[in-house]
Amino acid sequence: MSTKWLNYLVKMAKTKDTNTEGKILSAAENIFQSKGMDGARMQEIADKAGINKAMLHYYYRSKQLLFEAVFNKAFSLLAPQLNTILNDDSSVEDKIKKFTFNYISFISKHPYLPNFILQELNRNPDFVKKLQSNERFPSLDKFKMQVTSEVEKGNLKLISGEQLFINIISLCVFPFIGSPLIKVFLKLSDKDYKQLMKDRKTEIADFIINSIKA
Amino acid sequence: MSTKWLNYLVKMAKTKDTNTEGKILSAAENIFQSKGMDGARMQEIADKAGINKAMLHYYYRSKQLLFEAVFNKAFSLLAPQLNTILNDDSSVEDKIKKFTFNYISFISKHPYLPNFILQELNRNPDFVKKLQSNERFPSLDKFKMQVTSEVEKGNLKLISGEQLFINIISLCVFPFIGSPLIKVFLKLSDKDYKQLMKDRKTEIADFIINSIKA
DNA sequence: GTCTATAGCCAGATAGAC
DNA sequence: GTCTATCTGGCTATAGAC
């Protein structure tokens, strides 16, 4: 994440919903994250912000640039959480506990984020390249080394750091991306669904640790 | 799934790519599944089918109806697999082995399907209601009862059928929906990624069974 | 059944007054 | 900075010849 971007985010955090630029970004997040780039309408964003369509272009010049502002902010919220947890000094087991609890808590507050990010990455593979060149991009090296080491010591069953990471992310993120499908398959009300997600915050760590402990 | 629909699918399977209607449906699947309803263009579908835009309307009347044909076919491919496996007579453990292997194999051949289905369900919640009224809609009752019974007997650790089902689906499906993110986080080439998915076909069942065996 | 041409609409973007 | 009015292009859908 460039310094320019960080400054911009700090500014937006301070002025959120008070000045026009902040109102636009809030409205744009709301619309883009639920309808995607293609489904979103500039008119709808303007209406939600309570201002005129021309203002969107005055502040962000084009739909594409406004979209990128929303996307970059979303990604810069999701990714650093991975980084801080995966690269601290605690054990593999503690990392799994902390990560699952924190990540599920975070996504519960922003349930549209993961679907939005993944949808737009699938839509436009060029975004992927931009992300890689980001200096705050999460690194898994430390986590992988820890897993390998614990396997060698006989503390963990044979598993690669890659597969374990995929499993952790899948178990945390998919229930939100797949919520409409899960609700309909399990015949859950919104309240039931929320309770199930709340239970997962602690259950999931046990599920994962049980499966890998030697 | 109505009989009308079944007949239509059989007809399409026979004539795929040979007559105009089949060529249109194939092209529409390709475009809709990678770009979504909003991102798809009728012109692009016509080009891919090697025919004229007017033909699309001649056979399917509107973009919406063509889209629904694609969506219904996709869902009718994904859902019955759940049904047959979840409701056969094998043990919980065997079900997990069969299901993970078969579902990952199937999705590997149709990697765009899960993302397509979920995206459009999020976009248009009305689709969900239509799915529920489908008589071939998967039922989890038997699976849930089996899990409860095994937990009571002390063969499995305490887990609800709901959470176990969510975990199984998450571990099978997310790696495909999240492939761009996974590739970039783990710095994988397409070949590495494919190998990892291949490994999962068998590894995932062990991972799940380890975690729940008492 | 298949094509060309075009109607009709809607969305993103801009001009220009205030 | 904010608004109204309008341009411009692209898209779905249809009319009509063959």
Inter-chain CB proximity A184 and B128 less than 8 Å:
yes
Q: Which residues of B touch A74 (CB under 8 A)?
A: none
Q: Which residues of A touch B178 (CB under 8 A)?
A: 118, 169-170, 173
B61 inside 8 A of chain A by CB = no
Kindly identify which residue of chain B lies nearest to residue A207, measuring between CA atoms: B211
Q: What percentage of residues in chain A have a pLDDT greater than 70? A: 97
Residue A15 has pLDDT above 80, yes or no: no
Q: Strand C within 7 Å of which CB atoms in A 42-71?
A: 42-43, 53-54, 57, 61-64
Domain B1-61 has CATH 1.10.10.60: yes
Identify the band that residue A59 occupies on the pLDDT scale cut at 50, 70 and 90. very high
Kindly identify which residue of chain A lies nearest to residue B176, measuring between CA atoms: A170
Distance CA B162, CA A196 (A): 8
Q: How many residues does chain A have?
A: 214
Mean of pLDDT values over A17-40: 95
| Distance, CA of A184 to C1' of C8, in Å | 40
Per the model's pLDDT, the better-predicted residue between B195 and A124 turns out to be: B195
Inter-chain CB proximity A167 and B171 less than 8 Å:
yes
Is residue A166 exposed (0-12), middle (13-18) or buried (19+ Cβ within 10 Å)? buried
Kindly identify which residue of chain B lies nearest to residue A164, measuring between CA atoms: B207
3-state secondary structure of A159: coil
Residues of chain A with CATH 1.10.357.10: 64-212
Inter-chain CB proximity B184 and A117 less than 8 Å:
no
pLDDT attached to residue B15 = 67
pLDDT attached to residue A133 = 74
pLDDT attached to residue B167 = 98
pLDDT in tens, chain B (214 residues): 567 777 787 777 766 677 999 999 999 999 999 999 999 999 999 999 999 999 999 999 999 999 999 999 998 888 888 877 788 899 999 999 999 999 999 999 999 999 999 999 988 877 888 777 776 778 889 999 999 999 999 999 999 999 999 999 999 999 999 999 999 889 999 999 999 999 999 999 999 999 999 8
3-state secondary structure of A69: helix
Mean of pLDDT values over A114-137: 83
Distance CA B117, CA B125 (A): 12
| Distance, CA of A179 to C1' of C13, in Å | 37
> Residues B69, B37: contact at Cβ < 8 Å?
no
Instruction: Name the protein residue, with chain letter, whose CA is nearest the C1' of C15.
Output: A54
A136-177 pLDDT, tens per residue? 778 889 999 999 999 999 999 999 999 999 999 999 999 999
| Residue A3, CB-side half-sphere exposure with 13 Å CA sphere | 0
Inter-chain CB proximity A212 and B210 less than 8 Å:
yes
pLDDT attached to residue B35 = 96
Mean of pLDDT values over A29-57: 98
Average pLDDT, chain A: 92
pLDDT attached to residue A117 = 95
Is residue A183 exposed (0-12), middle (13-18) or buried (19+ Cβ within 10 Å)? middle
pLDDT attached to residue B27 = 98
Q: Is the CB of A39 under 7 A from strand C?
A: no
> Fold for domain B64-212?
Tetracycline Repressor; domain 2 (1.10.357)
Q: Which residues of B touch A207 (CB under 8 A)?
A: 159, 163, 167, 211-212
Inter-chain CB proximity B122 and A115 less than 8 Å:
yes
pLDDT attached to residue B204 = 98
Distance CA B154, CA B76 (A): 37
Q: What is the DSSP string of B79-143?
A: HHHHHHHHTSSS-HHHHHHHHHHHHHHHHHHSTTHHHHHHHHHHH-THHHHHHHT-TT----HHH
3-state secondary structure of A156: strand
CA dihedral B194, B197, B201, B207 (to 10 degrees): 150
Return the closest nucleotide (C1') to the Cα of A57. C13
3-state secondary structure of A134: coil
Is residue A125 exposed (0-12), middle (13-18) or buried (19+ Cβ within 10 Å)? exposed
A96 inside 8 A of chain B by CB = no
Residues of chain B with CATH 1.10.10.60: 1-61
A38, A121, A165 member nearest B39 (Cβ): A38
DSSP classification of residue B148: H
pLDDT attached to residue A1 = 58
Of B36, B170, B171, B63, the C-alpha closest to A179 is: B170
Inter-chain CB proximity A183 and B128 less than 8 Å:
yes
pLDDT attached to residue B135 = 66
Distance CA A140, CA A85 (A): 10
pLDDT attached to residue B2 = 63
B152 inside 8 A of chain A by CB = no
Using the CB atoms, write b or e for B181-192: b if 16+ within 10 Å. Answer: bbbbbbebeeee
To which residue do tokens 């259950």 refer? A203
Residue A213 has pLDDT above 70, yes or no: yes
Inter-chain CB proximity B207 and A203 less than 8 Å:
no
Distance CA A133, CA A30 (A): 27
Q: What are phi and psi of B207, to 5 degrees?
A: -55, -45
Tell me how close the Cα of B36 comes to any Cα of chain A, in angstroms: 9
Tokens, residue A71 = 């996307």
Tell me how close the Cα of B208 comes to any Cα of chain A, in angstroms: 7
pLDDT attached to residue B18 = 79
B202 inside 8 A of chain A by CB = no
